[in-house]
A and B are shown apart, each in its own frame.
Chain A
Amino acid sequence: DAGVTQSPTHLIKTRGQQVTLRCSPKSGHDTVSWYQQALGQGPQFIFQYYEEEERQRGNFPDRFSGHQFPNYSSELNVNALLLGDSALYLCASSLGDSANYGYTFGSGTRLTVV
């Protein structure tokens, strides 16, 4: 049991469409970070949400946006999907807004854009 729940587990979308991915953090965690992992690559930081605000953003275009709710759960939205957005999207939760506090990862959402 990862403690972090992501939904859906798999998703197929068409170019130009929009997608919303969801994450429920581990109980007791208040911070959610999102990472994109392309095939054969390490995870790339998209952004982090803490206290319902985006606290830091990686090198991703504005098509990627997110939200954190009062219960600490989070959504990742991607607009105008491109083929290159096909990847595994990982949600990581932690207590506190530093990556040093230790992440708990979910199993990810596999997004395929066709």
Chain B
Amino acid sequence: AQSVSQHNHHVILSEAASLELGCNYSYGGTVNLFWYVQYPGQHLQLLLKYFSGDPLVKGIKGFEAEFIKSKFSFNLRKPSVQWSDTAEYFCAVNLGNAGNNRKLIWGLGTSLAVNP
């Protein structure tokens, strides 16, 4: 069965540190990739997404992610985190073939705490 793995369950950083959250998926066909974020007390929000083209995609709030097809990975990065980036981060995959593109398959999430 298709699955999404997020390697870091809990990450603690100091402000200005660099961030990289790992995401790998298991599916050999076409995929569309997403990172969602959930700030404390708020609903899930789309951070960025990749469908095709340039494998380096930029999202909101200075986040970016790189799709490496050969590694089945879609890692999230930010050069310098802020306290306001404290949140839960979810990687999600949509199987690109038409019959299966109605749902997202999600990782377990990574809890990021940024200390001021």
List residues of chain B with CB under 8 Å of any chain A CB.
4, 32, 42-46, 49, 51, 90, 92, 94, 101-109
Contact = CB atoms under 8 A, between A and B. Distances in A.
Given A42-B92, A45-B104, A48-B102, 15 more contacts: A33-B102, A40-B108, A41-B109, A42-B4, A42-B107, A42-B109, A43-B44, A44-B106, A45-B103, A56-B102, A56-B103, A97-B102, A99-B94, A102-B46, A108-B43
Interface of A: 2, 4, 33, 40-45, 48, 55-56, 58, 90, 92, 97-100, 102-103, 105-108
Contact of B43 (A44, A56, A102, A106): A106
Contacts of A58: 103
Q: Can you list the 6 inter-chain pairs with the closest CB atoms, starting with the nearest?
A: A42-B106, A45-B103, A105-B44, A56-B102, A2-B43, A105-B43
A103 B90 CA distance: 14
Contacts of A48: 102-103
A58 to B, nearest CB: 7
Contacts of A106: 43
A104 to B, nearest CB: 8
B43 A33 contact: no
Given A105-B43, A107-B43, A108-B43, A99 B107 contact: no
